[in-house]
Structure 1
């Protein structure tokens, strides 16, 4: 963000800031957090406050897709109106919200709900550029389950680097928040991994071995729906579908993990 481009009530977020999927600090109710790979901003609510995002770093508050000319220099706006934050598309490409809802240029703005919302802009070579949003609720943070009791964090599962990479590729449609995602096949996953790491010797068998190892560990630790006996025939994609859902629900995998594929590709 340019030093001369500031928002009243706003504070910068560094490029190294953790994913907003893990939550945010206690803040004024209605505060919005906006974060991309290059950093972001947090802004307290007030009528008319606006956050610009797009490719042109000197002229936006949140830079997204800086090296991708398919992303517009000014791709969108986040505006506070009537105690809510709204997203408006000012770029050429649509902005994709959860459930594969597309927001096109000149469409009516869409309200951003409380909590976590990922936005995606598809760039060149099918790259997906992520803008994470988080709007705090009435208590200024995430809802708690028991009045003043502390919120118990989700249990995340330990994955080796190879397992995590395999599962990010296998489950990328889930991380992209497609409407009806399915896991990639062993062969599709191996082919993409081989493109990302040509010298690593990726095969469909190796992919299957990594995924089955994770399913077995989690099943022994009490996660349901990861064995053939539980699911029944025909199994289809059910075991991997249930695995990916568990990894996302536990925040073991989150949408920013897709950056790993960009970094490997680079």
Structure 2
């Protein structure tokens, strides 16, 4: 085991510049206080998070919004798999978010990962020595099952939403919550159709859904200072940018989580949520 798992000192430098000679498929992970390398056959899962005694690689030290154990990288079916065991999202380059409880295969080469915390993003560098091994039949991160969250880990300030707003926004952003690789918000017609199917006793139309979401965007822009939610702040053509920015904020603040997808199930599965809904509004 000693020859297959090695520590990387803090002064190793960025993994973007390369890594020492290693077997193909070897994992390198670098955090704020150093890192480690792990051979693919070491049977060793790399834990990362803010609390040094609890993890192998530190990230977000001193930021109590980051979980003590924010995530794990394990080798499964000939691939390295990242699992988010914390509460904050983990962002890949670009806008793809790995939400709490989700897992994703890591590609060979260099991948900077970002723990999305309230005031900053914490960098975790990952590099996998190029490997010719084909993908396995799937990725099972069972050994990295989600752990109970620590009492001294601070939640981000979740946005306040009414039951009706939450229902519409979960429907609008369900592709994000289901971890589509390049998600986009549903159209207003799609939202109205799905909510009409879900709740046929209520009158749902595209304008009603759009009005509810517009009120949320305006409120969060004015009261919370969330950027990119009003047209004046987004370059033309606006397209889906306003709703994309809104959904991203709700995910990053953990206002919406994968558990909210239960709202899109039949009402008989969640009667408490159905009772929480306000009286139907008229057509807008």
Larger Cα Rg: Structure 1 or Structure 2? 2
